[in-house]
Amino acid sequence: MSTSRRSFLRSAAGLALGGLSWRSRAENLLPRSERRVVVVGGGFGGAIAAKYLRLHDPSVDVVLIDRKTTYIACPFTNRVIAGLRDLAENTVGYDELAARHQITVLPTEVTAVDTAAKQVVTPGGAINYTRLVLSPGIDFRYDEIDGADPARTPEIMPHAWQAGEQTLLLRSQLAAMRSGGTVVMSIPLAPFRCPPGPYERVSLMAWYLKRTNPKSKIIVLDANPDIAAKARLFRAAWQQMYKGMVDYRPAQKVTRVILERRAVDTGAETIRGDVVNLIPPQKAAPLAFQAGVVGDDGKWCPVSQITFESRVPGIHVIGDSCIAGAMPKSAFSANSQGKVVALNMLAVMNGREPDAPAHVNVCYSYVNDREAMSVAGLYRVLGDNTVFVPQAGGLPTSYTELEGIQAASWFNNMLREMSS
Amino acid sequence: MKTRSRCLLLAAALLSPGLPALAERPSPAMLSESCGACHGTRGASAGPATPIIGGQSAGYIAASLNAFRDGRRPSSVMGRLAKGFARDDYVLMGNFLAAQPFVAARQATDPALAARGRNVHEVLCERCHADRGRRFEDREAKAPGPILSGQWLQYLLITFNEFIAKERPFPAGMDEAFRQLKRGDAEALAHYYASRP
């Protein structure tokens, strides 16, 4: 093909398809492989999928792409906000995972997914795939809140719902708050990442403030009709330990923010905070939108409950971005989905019947520095839905110190499993 | 109501494997790998309060799951989770995990306590927890037991406390040995087993 014809096609297709021809022309970053799974997103879902693919079938070439060289995990960051933990303890690298399982780990952006050519495009070149796993995490629906924007709002009203700078910003705002100040927290309508997370945060912020700023208070504006997870135990904890400090208001949806006044508006009332922790409603991460795997709701990715294959053939979506029936959007769910996608994607690739998924979810929430409570659940596929197994699961009778010890052990294993 | 009827439907489906809703039972790998998030990949736990289950005998794993399910053994989440599996699944998970290596924990222990624990072990425990706790010898052929050597210290301490607090009945033969323990012996035993490679 002549250069002029090629460049003509490039510009013509570029106009029509938003640069698709440029993508398919990208130089290969890795040599082509006929048996390659590319995993994008190195969190609890993606890292586990990459690892278990290799554990089950060493003939598959696995490439794990994340934009960062280290991963900062979200669970236990509420303890960082309360000054009980260093963010470094939540940070893992990929070196051991890569070496032990011979996974090619690439720290780079994915600028596009070319579904026609079956390749992901990065600034350094394209990588072809036989199948693609996306575990991209979440993004925020700031557009649903008047006066909010994705750039400036989190700098003034941190969400701290992705771990890292945001966690530290909320931590420093809380530590610097004037005596007797008010924290306002806004919780979006479910589904959102980590259902018990906001309520654990309320508990740990209250634990911290009770010691350092006893006249302060926390107003919780929850868009949900009630506490979305572990309700009985969180209510008991607030009643027992943080009475007068935690002002929980259900069915209060923040629809507008006034950044310069650090105020939020529910339609019925405008409330000013010294610290505002605005956790916006959520949706799948931008990469899911780029790849065309988001459903008609414009938020999350519908997938086969057996193989996690999305509406785009060959692209599987796991973790917070996907719709997995009754499973919560949690680190543990992502871990469980990573294992199921590995087993069942290999079944499809190797011409076997996929296995019946057996998912688990376990998570712990702290109510103070030492005491925690777990939630546990099993999930199976019934028809075309993933459902909670009614005989199993539920809450313990109370939060205890022993559960707090189990929580730390649980998190050690969660971090270790994804990074080794 | 809708949730309730769905729950009943699922219960029925799980209890009768012939129903088309669940095409097949999950494989042993499917069932067992979900344990890994808490118990480490293939049961090699990296969490000090969570036991290493890879390499334990199939019988011990199945017996433990049965005890969790029936409330004969206290736990954080296991009592709740065990109820969601079929008892047949326990055997599948037991076989899968028994085929994995037991990866001993690397951890700090108190040498003086470990030395004291060794003496106690040799007198009272070696008969069944043979090879210094590396193996279980089912002498009375009543109940299978665990590998203790190389297990996590914190888990061992929690478990000994369950026996001491009578939250958990002794397996056959163990009550006699436990009655002979002096104050501090259980802690010494835990340090001894945890110190073993």
A391, A395, A399, A411: best to mutate for the B interface, most B CBs within 10 A: A391
Adjacent-strand bridge partners of A182: A217
Same domain as B94, residue B115: no
In contact, A349 and A358? CB cutoff 8 Å:
no
Per mean pLDDT, which range of A25-34, A246-255, A264-273, A335-344 is the poorest?
A: A25-34
From A113's Cα to the closest Cα of chain B, the distance in A is 30
In a domain, B105, yes or no: no
A409 token code pair: 């052990």
B76, B157, B158: best to mutate for the A interface, most A CBs within 10 A: B76
Same fold, A11-137+285-419 and A142-282: yes
In a domain, B35, yes or no: yes
Q: Residue A2 carries which side chain, given as an amino acid letter?
A: S
Same domain as B129, residue B157: yes
Band (A8; pLDDT cuts 50, 70, 90): very low
For residue range B174-196, list pLDDT tens digits in order.
888 999 999 999 999 999 999 99
B12–chain A Cβ distance below 8 A for any pair:
no
pLDDT at B141: 55
From B177's Cα to the closest Cα of chain A, the distance in A is 26
Q: Which residues lie below 8 Å from residue A225, measured CB to CB, with a gap of 6+?
A: A250, A251
Helix, strand, coil: what percent of chain B each, to 5? 55, 0, 45
CATH number at B183 reads: 1.10.760.10
From A184's Cα to the closest Cα of chain B, the distance in A is 33
Domain A142-282 has CATH 3.50.50.60: yes
In a domain, B42, yes or no: yes
A76-85 mean pLDDT = 98
The CA distance from B96 to B188, in Å, is 32
- Cβ contact (<8 Å) for B26 and A357? yes
A265: pLDDT strictly greater than 70: yes
A389: pLDDT strictly greater than 80: yes
A21: pLDDT strictly greater than 80: no
For residue range B163-173, list pLDDT tens digits in order.
999 999 988 78
For residue range A105-125, list pLDDT tens digits in order.
999 999 999 999 999 999 999
Crossing angle between the packed helical segments A401-419 and B153-164, to the nearest 10 degrees: 150
Residue A419, burial from CB neighbour count under 10 angstroms (0-12, 13-18, 19+): buried
- Cβ contact (<8 Å) for A413 and B37? yes
Same domain as B93, residue B162: no
Run of H or E including A133: strand A131-134
Same domain as B134, residue B185: yes
Band (A331; pLDDT cuts 50, 70, 90): very high
Nearest residue in chain B measured CA to CA from A405: B49
B142: pLDDT strictly greater than 80: no
The mean predicted confidence, pLDDT, of chain A is: 94
In contact, A102 and A83? CB cutoff 8 Å:
no
In contact, A171 and A81? CB cutoff 8 Å:
yes
pLDDT at B5: 47
Crossing angle between the packed helical segments B185-195 and B111-120, to the nearest 10 degrees: 100
In a domain, B40, yes or no: yes
Q: Measured between CB atoms, which of B25, B41, B47 is closest to A356?
A: B25
B125 token code pair: 């425990």
B114: pLDDT strictly greater than 90: yes
In contact, A365 and A328? CB cutoff 8 Å:
no
Owning domain of residue B48: 24-98
pLDDT at B173: 80
B82–chain A Cβ distance below 8 A for any pair:
yes
Q: Which residues lie below 8 Å from residue A15, measured CB to CB, with a gap of 6+?
A: none
Nearest residue in chain A measured CA to CA from B152: A409
- Cβ contact (<8 Å) for B29 and A336? no
Which residues of chain A are within 8 Å of residue B9 when distances are taken between CB atoms?
382
Q: Given B41, B67, B98, which residue is the final one in a domain?
A: B98
The CA distance from A391 to B90, in Å, is 16
Run of H or E including A122: strand A119-122
Q: Which residues lie below 8 Å from residue A4, measured CB to CB, with a gap of 6+?
A: none
The count of CB pairs under 8 A between chains A and B is: 139
Which residues of chain A are within 8 Å of residue B158 when distances are taken between CB atoms?
402, 405
Same domain as B92, residue B116: no
Candidates A141, A238, A156, A391; CA nearest to B82 is: A391
B29–chain A Cβ distance below 8 A for any pair:
yes
Band (B139; pLDDT cuts 50, 70, 90): confident
In a domain, B141, yes or no: yes
Same domain as B120, residue B183: yes
Per mean pLDDT, which range of A3-12, B57-66, B101-110 is the poorest?
A: A3-12
- Cβ contact (<8 Å) for B49 and A409? yes
Same domain as B132, residue B168: yes
B114-128 mean pLDDT = 96
Band (A393; pLDDT cuts 50, 70, 90): confident
In a domain, B17, yes or no: no
In a domain, B1, yes or no: no
Run of H or E including B153: helix B153-164
Domain A11-137+285-419: homologous superfamily in CATH: FAD/NAD(P)-binding domain (3.50.50.60)
Q: Measured between CB atoms, which of B34, B47, B80 is closest to A392?
A: B80
In contact, A182 and A217? CB cutoff 8 Å:
yes
pLDDT at A23: 45
Band (B140; pLDDT cuts 50, 70, 90): low
Q: Residue B36 carries which side chain, given as an amino acid letter?
A: G
In a domain, B103, yes or no: no
For residue range A139-190, list pLDDT tens digits in order.
999 999 999 999 999 999 999 999 999 999 999 999 999 999 999 999 999 9
Same domain as B81, residue B39: yes
The mean predicted confidence, pLDDT, of chain B is: 89
Q: Is this prediction's ipTM beyond 0.85?
A: yes
Adjacent-strand bridge partners of A62: A37
pLDDT at B171: 84
In contact, B11 and B19? CB cutoff 8 Å:
no
- Cβ contact (<8 Å) for B158 and A402? yes
B14–chain A Cβ distance below 8 A for any pair:
yes
Same domain as B59, residue B129: no
B132: pLDDT strictly greater than 70: yes
For residue range B12-55, list pLDDT tens digits in order.
444 443 333 444 789 999 999 999 999 999 999 999 999 999 99
A358: pLDDT strictly greater than 60: yes
Q: Given B98, B121, B139, which residue is the final one in a domain?
A: B98
- Cβ contact (<8 Å) for A380 and B22? yes
Measured CA to CA in angstroms, residue A371 lies from A200, A233, A365 at distances of: 11, 11, 8
A219 token code pair: 């107003």
From A387's Cα to the closest Cα of chain B, the distance in A is 8
From B33's Cα to the closest Cα of chain A, the distance in A is 7
For residue range A50-62, list pLDDT tens digits in order.
999 999 999 999 9
Which residues of chain A are within 8 Å of residue B41 when distances are taken between CB atoms?
51, 55, 417, 420
**Strand bridging mode A61-66 / A91-93:** unpaired
- Cβ contact (<8 Å) for B26 and A355? yes
Nearest residue in chain A measured CA to CA from B5: A390
The CA distance from A361 to A194, in Å, is 11
Print burial letters for A67-87: b (CB count within 10 Å at least 16), e (below 16): eeeebbbbbbbbbbbbbbbeb
pLDDT at A231: 97
B54–chain A Cβ distance below 8 A for any pair:
no
Residue B69, burial from CB neighbour count under 10 angstroms (0-12, 13-18, 19+): buried
B126–chain A Cβ distance below 8 A for any pair:
no
Give the percent of chain A with pLDDT over 70.
94
The structural domain count of chain B equals 2
* CA angle A390–A392–A393, rounded 5-degree value: 105
CA-based Rg of chain A, rounded to a whole angstrom?
Answer: 22
